Amino acid sequence: MLEPQYEFELDEALAKIRESLQGEDIERFRSDFLDYHLYDQAQIYLALAPEERITMYHYLSANEMADMFEIIEEDVESVEAYLLEMNNQYAADMLANMYADNAVDMLKQLKDERIWLYLRLMPMEAAREIRALLNYEDETAGAIMTPEFVSIVANQTVRSAMAILKSKAPDAETIYYIYVVNVDNVLVGVISLRDLIVNDEDMMISDIMSERIVSVNVKEGQEDVAHKIRDYDFLAVPVVDENNVLLGIITVDDIIDVIDEEAVSDFSGLAGVDVEEQSENPFVAASKRLPWLITLLFLGMGTSTLISQYEGLISEASILSVFVTLITGTSGNAGTQSLAVAVRKIGMQDDEEKNLFRTILSELATGLISGLVTGVTIALVIGVWKQNFILGGIIGISMLVAITVANLAGSLIPVLMDRLGFDPAVASGPFISTFSDLTSVLIYFNIAKHFISTLM
């Protein structure tokens, strides 16, 4: 008979946990709460009121709370409020029982004086590991690596290596890869858990280890590390210094967080707003969005000013004003599409200069084809609609040139920003749209000016 599938209902679980907390029934609380999956424990914890969580701290050990906070650390924007609810020693013990890289992620959200308070209250070894990670620059391999890994030496047998693995496994973040080092802790090889299991216990590690090691430098950017783990399909990658000394490992779960961060950053840039904005206060939300909107407002005034320069042309052929938004809107959409493709290509970084310029050429060709098809289509539609194929031709040619220029700008601007060391996603969709408005208006009225005599 099949076991019933595990299902979790937050409201039902909350009611049960609140009942045991209010009844101060510690045994029932521990039995019910610890029976849930860690992720579900975290959801319950986050849904409780502060006074209910404070009671929990008396019912759960710092080690049990640490297991749950490994999940919470990735699930909320800031953990500072939760740490401040705890007794200082309890919070320090909980942080010390977490994987060092996750504890560091939490500590970096706090003020310096509170960081050093927790470090002073921690056991010396845990504080030393965390302090070392705090010294690495943000968004580097060193900042996201963990020192909790298993290493062995080459001149030992599989039997002795398995004994070391068993002793270190409870504290290691992953045991699927075991790294082989020499007496100076220099990385010389790697072996998988499977290799240890399938080989004879008397085999030497040096005979079965792989010396072809893919590693990352401790100063390498986290995006580059993410690409390497993706390309090689690793569960973890070793982190070394300039002398190839093994310092730590980066696991795939940390890389998933990096990928999420980069995706959020790109979406925020493309939209010109922080897509992870958590504030429910409309005044706070508006204050974060207004600077970008005001900047775009002034850029948009440039378009209005440019149109005003062609008042004489519009007065001669007022029909031209009807199609301004059609051309600006279409070219803006084309530029945003090109921008998204270019930012994605830059983010992948599989290829260097050659491929980036190939992307620009490809987008230019795409713009020409899209512009040609769109231009011919709109020329025919307007020609039939307005019974004026000269007008249709003006609109069609303007559309062709405007879309081509917008595609070129959408791919070229992020590449130039990347070359200058800026985040290419900052060349956001609103900026490209505004830029396309300016160029398309300039293109449209200059083309119309050359055909005004035939249009009249």
Q: What is the pLDDT of residue 318?
A: 80
Domain 282-455 classification at class level: mainly alpha
290 pLDDT exceeds 80? no
Domain 10-137 identical in fold to domain 151-250: no
435 pLDDT exceeds 90? no
Q: Which residue has the higher pLDDT, 341 or 323?
A: 323
Tell me which of 1.10.510.10, 3.30.365.10, 1.25.60.10, 3.30.70.2340 is the CATH number of domain 10-137.
1.25.60.10
Three-point CA angle 408, 409, 414, nearest 5° = 115
CA-wise closest residue to 323 among 147, 185, 444, 221:
444
Q: Which residue has the higher pLDDT, 255 or 356?
A: 255
Lowest mean pLDDT among 145-149, 170-174, 294-298, 435-439: 294-298
- What is the SS3 assignment for 200? coil
Which run of H or E residues covers position 177? strand 177-181
Q: What is the pLDDT of residues 94-113, one digit of tens each?
A: 999 999 988 998 998 899 99
Q: What is the pLDDT of residue 292?
A: 64
pLDDT band of 154, cuts 50, 70, 90: very high
393 pLDDT exceeds 80? yes
DSSP string computed for 222-252? HHHHHHHHHHHT-SEEEEE-TT-BEEEEEEH
Q: Which residue has the higher pLDDT, 1 or 430?
A: 430
Please compute the mean of the pLDDT values over residues 173-184 and round it to a whole number: 93
Q: What is the pLDDT of residue 332?
A: 84
* Percent of the chain surpassing pLDDT 90: 49
CA 127 – CA 118 distance, rounded (Å): 9
Torsion of CA 383, 385, 388, 391, to 10 degrees: -70
Q: What is the pLDDT of residues 264-284, one digit of tens each?
A: 555 555 555 554 555 556 776
Q: Domain limits of the chain?
A: 10-137, 151-250, 282-455
456 pLDDT exceeds 60? no
Radius of gyration for the chain, computed over Cα atoms and rounded to the nearest angstrom = 30
191 pLDDT exceeds 90? yes
Across 165-191, b (16+ Cβ under 10 Å) vs e yields beebeeebbbbebbbbbeeebebbbbb
Q: Which residue has the higher pLDDT, 260 or 350?
A: 260
- What is the SS3 assignment for 208? helix
Three-point CA angle 272, 294, 327, nearest 5° = 70
Lowest mean pLDDT among 265-279, 411-425, 438-452: 265-279
Q: What is the pLDDT of residue 1?
A: 45
**Sheet bearing 236-240, strands edge to edge:** 216-217, 236-240, 246-251
Q: What is the pLDDT of residue 380?
A: 94
Instruction: Give the tokens for residue 245.
Output: 């000394």
CA 148 – CA 247 distance, rounded (Å): 10
CA 45 – CA 68 distance, rounded (Å): 9
373 pLDDT exceeds 80? yes
Q: Can you say how many angstroms the Cα of residue 182 is from the centroid of all Cα atoms in its chain?
A: 36
CA-wise closest residue to 341 among 260, 261, 281, 425:
425
Q: Can you say how many angstroms the Cα of residue 386 is from the centroid of all Cα atoms in its chain?
A: 49
Q: What is the pLDDT of residues 35-82, one digit of tens each?
A: 999 999 999 999 999 999 999 999 999 999 999 998 887 666 678 899
205 pLDDT exceeds 80? yes
Instruction: Give the tokens for residue 420.
Output: 């200058």
pLDDT band of 412, cuts 50, 70, 90: confident
pLDDT band of 220, cuts 50, 70, 90: very high
Residue written as token pair 């260097």: 352
Q: Which of 124-128, 259-263, 340-344, 447-451 has the highest mean pLDDT?
A: 124-128
CA 380 – CA 395 distance, rounded (Å): 10
CA 402 – CA 398 distance, rounded (Å): 6
* Residues in the chain, total: 456
- What is the SS3 assignment for 423? coil
Q: What is the pLDDT of residue 35?
A: 92
CA 456 – CA 444 distance, rounded (Å): 17
Lowest mean pLDDT among 242-246, 348-352, 440-444: 348-352
Long-range contacts of 184-189 (CB under 8 A, 24+ apart): 184/245, 185/151, 185/245, 185/246, 186/243, 186/244, 186/245, 186/246, 187/213, 187/215, 187/238, 187/240, 187/244, 187/245, 187/246, 188/154, 188/213, 189/154, 189/213
pLDDT band of 190, cuts 50, 70, 90: very high
Homologous superfamily of 151-250 in CATH? CBS-domain (3.10.580.10)
356 pLDDT exceeds 80? no
CA 419 – CA 77 distance, rounded (Å): 31
Q: What is the pLDDT of residue 428?
A: 60
